[in-house]
Amino acid sequence: MNAKPQVLVIDDDAVVGRSFDRVLSDKGYEVSTALTGEEGLKYIESTNYDVVFTDIVMPGMDGLEVAEHIKARCPWTPVVVITGNGTPDHEARASVLGVSGFVHKPLTPEIIEGITLKALQEPANVWQAANEPETSSDIATEQSISTLRKVGIFAKNVSMFFLAPFIALGYIIALPFVGFYLLAKLGKEALAEKLVSS
């Protein structure tokens, strides 16, 4: 059994993969590199990685798609998105997917080592929080929220039941006026075209 932390770097720029390998191998990590998202996902099928780094802009599958696939298969695996041209939209999508970090190139050895350590510590914190027993006040709060949601949905349904005939009546009353308006508008446009052509 290999006791070294397993790191996967997915980036179409081979230099980035070599940089991670050089920095992290000296610190006791086992580093694998892939040049495409598809190649990286094949590695995921055969190895349990402790952390995955993925570039965001790559040919074929982009880094956010890679992160989505990894999180669906191994939700506990930290994924860090690296990019040279990230946007706020990318960061928002990455956050929704539950990535552990979003770092910008160029990456220094200090950044590589620091973000790796941070990502490796995250799963322990997440699992610890998930495994903490719920207190009676937590359970009561969840039950209160659930009850309020049910009451809100019921009230909305009842109000729609009583309002539906009035809404329909409003449409029936308004329909002739809308029809007359459209006919008048079309007649006016036709008359204007006739005057222009004559």
Report d(CA 110, CA 12) in Å as an integer.
Answer: 22
Q: Which of 86, 101, 131 is the last residue of a domain?
A: 131
Report d(CA 77, CA 130) in Å as an integer.
Answer: 15
pLDDT (tens, 9 = 90+) of the chain, 198 residues, equals 457 889 999 999 899 999 999 999 988 999 999 999 999 999 998 888 999 999 888 888 888 888 888 888 888 888 988 877 766 776 677 677 777 777 888 888 998 998 888 888 865 444 333 334 444 455 555 555 656 666 666 666 666 667 777 777 776 887 787 778 888 888 888 887 778 776
CATH number at residue 10: 3.40.50.2300
Residue 71 shares a structural domain with residue 49: yes
Q: Which of 78, 98, 131 is the last residue of a domain?
A: 131
Does 124 reside within a domain? Answer: yes
Residue 161 burial (C-beta neighbours within 10 Å; 0-12, 13-18, 19+)? exposed
Residue 23 shares a structural domain with residue 83: yes
pLDDT of residue 155: 65
Rounded to two decimals, what is the model's pTM? 0.58
Residue 105 shares a structural domain with residue 142: no
Domain that holds residue 165: 137-198
Please list, in sequence order, all residues whose beta carbon lies within 8 angstroms of the beta carbon of residue 39, skipping any fewer than 6 positions away: 10
Residue 84 shares a structural domain with residue 166: no
Q: Which of 131, 157, 185 is the last residue of a domain?
A: 131
Six-digit token string for 125: 């914190």
